[in-house]
Amino acid sequence: MAPRTAEIAGAGLAGLTLATRLAQLGWHVRLHERNDELRMYGAGIWLWESGLQTLETLGAFDQATKRARTIREWRIADHGGKPLMSRYTGPGDRMLLPPRADLYAALIARAEYYGVDIVTSSLVTGMSADGRIEYANGKTSRADLVVAADGAYSRLRESIFCTAWMDFGSQAGIRMLIDRSDDQPDDTIIEYWHGARRLLFNPCTDEQDYIFLSAPVGDDRAGRLPVDRDLWAADFPAVADLVHRFAEDGRWDRLVNVRCRRWSAGHAAVLGDAAHAMPPNLGQAANTAFINAMALAALAEQNKDITTVLPEWERRQKAITDHVQRWSYYYGFVLGHCPSPLLGTRARTLGRLSQTQWFDRNLNRGARHQPMGSLAVH
C-alpha cells in the first residue's frame, strides 16, 4: 500500500514537528518554506515537560537541549527584586531553556533523517478542503492531508475560513541573547515587574543568557531599539548591572493573539501560531503547537479517514489549547492594565493566589500535559 501523503506550508517549529512525526509514522511528507533557506529568529525558548516529551519521541531531545540550562525555579519579583511568586520544577515536571536556534536545528535534522522533502523558495498561496494546495506559480498539488503552519499572520488560514479574531494586544516585546556573567543564577528564571513593564532574565547556556523585555505598545521609549539602557536600569535597579550588558541587536515583536472558529475543513488544517498564536507570557506557544502536532499524527495513525480525524483532533485538543491561550492572555492583561494605585494589591494577590492548588493546576495545565503518542505514554 502506498504511504499516505501530507503537504505542509511553513517550516517553523510547528510545521517541522508535524512533518517529522508523520514521516516517522510512515507518511510521505513535503514541507514548504517560502524563504530561500530555513531560518529561525528569536533568542531562547522555554521547553516544558510537554515539549520535552515531544522531542524525546522525535529523537530530537539530545541535540535540541545539549547546551540548555535546566531550570529549577521560575520566579516573579518586583522591580527591586522582592519575590512575588515562585514556580518550581522537578522530575516529571521538567523545564529546559535552550537557544531557539538549537531547537530548530535539531528538528530540521530529524525531519531530514526521516526523509521529509523540505522545499525552500516554495510559496503556498491557497489550500482547500479537498486536499489541494496552490502555489504562487499557479501549479497545484493534492495530498491526504494539507496543513497551514505559516504563523500568526497566516496567508492560508482564510482559505478554509478559520479565523474568528486576531488581537494585536497591548504589549510589545524585545528579545536578545547576551553574554553570560557568573553573578547571575544558572537555574532560575527571574521575571521582574514594574508597572506595565517587565524584564525577564533567563539562563540559557554556559556562554549566553536570554533576555525578554515587554512594555505597552504606546510606550515608545521602552520599545526603542537599540534598548534605552538608562530607562530599564532606572526601572529595575536590582539588575542595573545586567541591563548595561544588553546587546545592540535585539528583536522587537508585537505580541498577538489568534483565535479560530475552527481548525480544519475536510482534508485541510491549521496548526501552531496559525491556529492559536498567543503572547509568550507562559512560555507555552511552541509547547502547545508540539502537543497538537503529536495528537494529529497519533489520531491519523489510528484512523485512515482524515475527514474524520481532523474534527476529532480538534475536539480533543481545543480545550487544552484554549485554556493555555486564555491564561496567557489574562496574564498579560493583569500585567499591562493594572492602575498604578492598585499595583500593591496586584503583588499581594499574586502572592496569595500562587500558593493555591487552583492556581497551580491552571497555570501549569499545558506545561504538564502528556502529548498523545509520546514515549512517556507508551
Query: Is 222 within 8 Å of 13 (Cβ atoms)?
Result: no
Q: Tell me: pLDDT of 378 over 60.
A: no
> Taking residues 232-247, what's their average pLDDT?
93
Give the residue, 316 or 169, on which the prediction is more confident: 316
DSSP structural state of residue 67:
T
> Taking residues 58-64, what's their average pLDDT?
98
Query: Is 150 within 8 Å of 64 (Cβ atoms)?
Result: no
Residue 178: strand, helix, or coil:
strand
Amino acid symbol at 146? V
Q: Tell me: pLDDT of 211 over 60.
A: yes
Quick one: CA torsion of 87, 90, 94, 96, rounded to 10 degrees? 80
The reported pLDDT for the residue numbered 296 is: 98
| Distance, CA of 28 to CA of 40 (rounded, Å) | 24
Q: Tell me: pLDDT of 4 over 70.
A: yes
Q: Tell me: pLDDT of 334 over 90.
A: no
* Confidence category of residue 273, pLDDT binned at 50, 70, 90: very high
What is the reported pTM? 0.95
pLDDT above 90: percentage of residues in the chain: 80
Q: Tell me: pLDDT of 377 over 70.
A: no
> Taking residues 70-76, what's their average pLDDT?
97
| Distance, CA of 90 to CA of 289 (rounded, Å) | 23
Average pLDDT, the chain: 93
* Main-chain phi, psi angles of 235, to 5 degrees: -70, -35
Domains in the chain, CATH or no CATH each: 5-168+255-377 (3.50.50.60), 171-254 (3.30.9.10)
> Taking residues 35-58, what's their average pLDDT?
93
pLDDT in tens, 92-109: 999 999 999 999 999 999
Which string of DSSP letters, residue by residue, matches 75-125? Answer: EEEETT--EEEEEE-BTTB-EEE-BHHHHHHHHHHHHHHTT-EEESS--EE
Which string of DSSP letters, residue by residue, matches 4-45? Answer: PEEEEE--SHHHHHHHHHHHHTT-EEEEE-SSSS-----SB-
